[in-house]
Amino acid sequence: MSDTKQPSAKTLAELQASGWKSRSVKEEIRSNFLKMLANGEPLYPGIIGYEDTVIPELNIALLAGHDLLFLGEKGQAKSRLMRTLVRFLDEYVPYLDILDVPVHEDPFHPITKTAKEFLASHTAEQVPIGWWHRSERYVERLAPGTKFADVIGEIDPSKLTGGVSMGAEAALHFGLIPRMHRGIFAMNELPELDEMVQVGLFNILEERDVQIRGYPVRFDLDIFILFSANPGTYNRSGKVIPQLKDRIGSLIQTHYQTDRDLGIQILQQECGLDLGGQYPVQIPYFMTEIIEEITTQARKSKYVDQASGVSARFSLSNYRTMIASARQRAVLLGEPIAVPRISDLGHLYSSSLGKLEVDLMGSHQMTEHKILDSLLANAIKVVFEQYTSEHGVGQIADIFNKGVRIEVGDLLPSSAYAERLKHVPPVWEAAFDVNATDQPAIRASCVEFVLAGLYSLDKISRASKHGKVSYEV
């Protein structure tokens, strides 16, 4: 939805004259969602690969007016989906702009005693109106460490010393949920939430009221509540109280992308690096495929704890590291274009280790470095076989059957590869769909890909020394 100008009404009288009507936050979302759906507008910009799985279930849940739980492993766009729902809110909603009211009150249906008394003692022309933008009507909280007072509220000692009765509404300090009246509240990692806070949330979901320290202060809260959780902890007995589970309207199950090209689309969308400028970068597609394939291999490796998951951020971090290594080489060697190579992947340890949870039962004393080496080797083999299945590995391998030895490295000039390419067979060009005769840096990247691919198929041998790698038959 395109942004609109803030409405002009500044008093309750002007708001009444404008014809504005109250509606709940879920009614707002349902109405705006249906309007965008009917107009064929994009519903969830930036969300890739969920068109036939997650999105249909989410659409139905929004139309049903349910509070939602997004259940999935880390890096499956749960938080992004929750934040995207803000776009279905009205651009602006009016609120009573008066002092000492801790929530954005609906001018026609106030819920606090202070607001009700103010309206009763002032004329419509005297009641000031403010406008609340939808970008401010969303707040999220991470469950670990969250206390009852943070999200629901607490008795304010300073107000008690001022003579306010403990059971009075004025004695309360409101938490995030009451303050988000007429908005969206999201709680990440629900199973890690303290049980007492879960009980408070259960009461809000059930009755839409607030109870603090046994004092039932009833508010007709209007709020859309979202949760996220990891299946491994959410389904573990005792982590989430059954009453709270029962009152969450819809469970939206997310998943990792099984199609590598979709994963690459996400990777390129989220990269956030300028590949142009003074030191431009050109990335052969097979290098991007290898980066994403490493993640795919990790998600099915017996050495990686699959209950923890492998986030899309794993691919993203490795992608940026690969680009950084290539760009550093181009700057140091004065090359006009930076092109990532297989040797640049030697720097992935720093961006990978720490993002993988090693399965101590399945690793059999495998170190994290060895596990990453295995993932990388498998990824190169998978991608290389897809290229050579059409074009044939035999013709390319022939040049190495004549005693050829090629040394590679992330800081070797691209020109160092040129001499060995003089006898490359024509099939090389077809295999990579690039004009290697024009760009030495691309030629160098292709050379390393073929060498690493041949090694993965046990066609040639490899030796490492002082950070450089040599390939030979």
Q: Residue ranges of the alpha helices (H) in 125-257? A: 148-151, 157-161, 176-179, 195-207, 231-234, 242-247
What is the distance between the alpha carbons of residues 194 and 147, in angstroms, rounded to a whole number?
A: 7
Residue 450, pLDDT > 80, answer: yes
Q: Kind and range of the H or E element at 355? A: none
Confidence band, pLDDT 50/70/90 cuts, at residue 435: very low
DSSP string covering 161-180: HTT--TTSGGGEEE-HHHHT
246 with 201: CB under 8 angstroms?
no
Question: What pLDDT, in 10s, does the model give residues 361-401?
Answer: 655 667 788 889 899 999 999 998 887 754 556 666 666 66
What is the distance between the alpha carbons of residues 202 and 255, in angstroms, rounded to a whole number?
A: 27
Report pLDDT for 237: 80
Q: Which residue has the higher pLDDT, 359 or 66?
A: 66
Question: Which is nearest to 454 in space by CA: 437, 466, 469?
Answer: 469
All domains of the chain in start order, with CATH: 12-253 (3.40.50.300), 260-472 (no CATH)
Residue that is written with structure tokens 């959410």 in the block: 234
Window from 168-177, 294-303, 341-350, 405-414 with minimum mean pLDDT: 168-177
Across residues 234-240, what is the average pLDDT?
87
Question: What pLDDT, in 10s, does the model give residues 88-130?
Answer: 999 999 999 998 888 999 999 998 888 999 999 999 999 999 9
Task: Give the pair of three-digit tokens for residue 439.
Answer: 């760009």
Report pLDDT for 434: 44
Residues 6+ apart with CB under 8 A from 317: 351, 352, 355
Question: Which is nearest to 89 in space by CA: 110, 104, 73?
Answer: 104
- Side-chain-side CA neighbours of residue 119 (13 Å): 20
Which segment, 60-64, 169-173, 394-398, is predicted with the most confidence on average? 60-64
Window from 65-79, 118-132, 157-171 with minimum mean pLDDT: 157-171
Q: pTM of the entire structure?
A: 0.85
Residue that is written with structure tokens 């990777």 in the block: 267
Report pLDDT for 158: 59
Q: Kind and range of the H or E element at 185? A: strand 183-188
